[in-house]
Structure formats: structure tokens, C-alpha cells
A and B are shown apart, each in its own frame.
Chain A
């Protein structure tokens, strides 16, 4: 997980609360991603940013917003958390070729 720092590692929210997951990288890569992983499933892309100043929706964007604050930082916001958003969230980065993703250590989020 070297180079990609995610905070927080754990979070418990009540339904309707908001929060922001932070991701920062020190590898100078252009592309940044937010994924969620539910038990027994593969990763699903929420949003991604191919470069500073751009963001695009992934497979499951509903209920989330993102900000690419600068080249280093990409945040994920839940405006009004729902129990269906209980999951493990991973931030990832990729360089020019985009073939190799580097992941942060993950955030375990529970929404009660």
C-alpha cells in the first residue's frame, strides 16, 4: 500500500449522516479511483479521475460525490449515508499505462 494513504480506516455512521473519505498519493500518478467491495463480490468502481480537474462516474455512483482537489488528493463524500453503503472502500491510483493499480489500505464503513 506504499504511496496511497486512506483515512479513516474505520467509520460508523448513522443513517442520514454525512462523511468524507480522504485519499492522498505520493507517486505522482494521474489516475485515481474509488471502489467499494462487498462480501463475496469483486470491486465496483464508484468514481474515477483520469487527471487533475476531471472526474467521471463509474459503475455505482449513486449516493456519492467526489472531488479531485489536486494531483495528490481525491476525496469521496457520502452526503446522506444509507445502510446499503455499508462496505469496504478502497482508493486506488494508476500511472500512464493504467494497467497496474496501487491500492490504499481501505476504509471499513458501517451505516446503522
Chain B
């Protein structure tokens, strides 16, 4: 079956850099997505990686290594508004190419 692992909680300081890791086990990997969700809100799309390497979008970057079944989300110059939960999600052939979601990482930012 498919499974994703990400830390349940990460704490960082405002202005710092934080990395949220995601490891996955799938039988037909297609791509890795990241979503942000504020408390009480809906998930919003951050990034998608289908190929190895780093994708950068402003303060956020996402990395994928298909050979290691591993990816991460890198957040730079942390701001208090970045306090949220971050979900990795895998698109997989075994799930008919629908997203399988991790349990989420709660990012706590301290001033």
C-alpha cells in the first residue's frame, strides 16, 4: 500500500529557515505536492514536483528525490503568517492517480 511520513510538529523562530520532510512509499509514484492549511481554513496549493530537484517559488522551495522516495518543503525568512499545517501529498498509479495525503506537519513560529 501507500504511506507518507512527515513530522507532526516543527517549531522555528521568525526570520529563520525551516525544512519539513516527507518520505513516501508507493507502488507507482507520479508526483509530490505540498499544501498549506491555516487553522479553520482550507488547504491551498504550494508546489508540485514530478522530477528530481528543487523548485523555487518566492520564499518557499520544494525538493524531490525519486530514488530516495523523499521530498522536503523549505520555508525561508519565516513570518508569523507562515504558522500553519503543511501537507505533502503523493499522486500514485495505485490510487488511480488521485492524491494520497500525509497527516500534516504543524509549523509553530516563535517571535
Residue numbers of A with Cβ under 8 A of B are 1, 33, 40-45, 48, 56, 58-59, 90, 98-106
Contact = CB atoms under 8 A, between A and B. Distances in A.
Contacts of A106: 41-42
B103 A40 contact: yes
Residue of B8, B31, B42, B103 with highest tally of chain A CB at under 10 A: B42
A34 B4 CA distance: 21
Given A45-B98, A104-B42, 10 more contacts: A42-B101, A42-B103, A43-B87, A56-B96, A98-B97, A99-B91, A100-B45, A101-B45, A103-B44, A105-B42
Contacts of B71: none
Q: How large is the interface on B (under 10, 10 to 19, 20 to 34, 35 or more residues)?
A: 20 to 34
A103 B96 contact: no
Interface string B44-83: 1100100000000000000000000000000000000000
Interface of B is mostly: strand
Interface in B1-44: 4, 8, 31, 33, 35, 41-44
16 contacts: A40-B103, A41-B103, A41-B104, A42-B89, A42-B101, A42-B103, A59-B95, A90-B43, A98-B91, A99-B48, A99-B91, A100-B45, A101-B35, A101-B45, A103-B44, A105-B42
Nearest to A103: B42
Contact of B104 (A42, A45, A90, A101): A42
B99 interface: yes
B102 A42 contact: yes
A43 B45 contact: no
A48 B97 CA distance: 12
A111 B87 CA distance: 27
A100 B36 CA distance: 12
Contacts of B89: 42-43
B48 A101 contact: no
B42 A43 contact: no
Contacts of B31: 99
A42 B42 contact: no
Closest 5 interchain pairs by CB? A42-B101, A103-B42, A99-B48, A100-B45, A43-B101
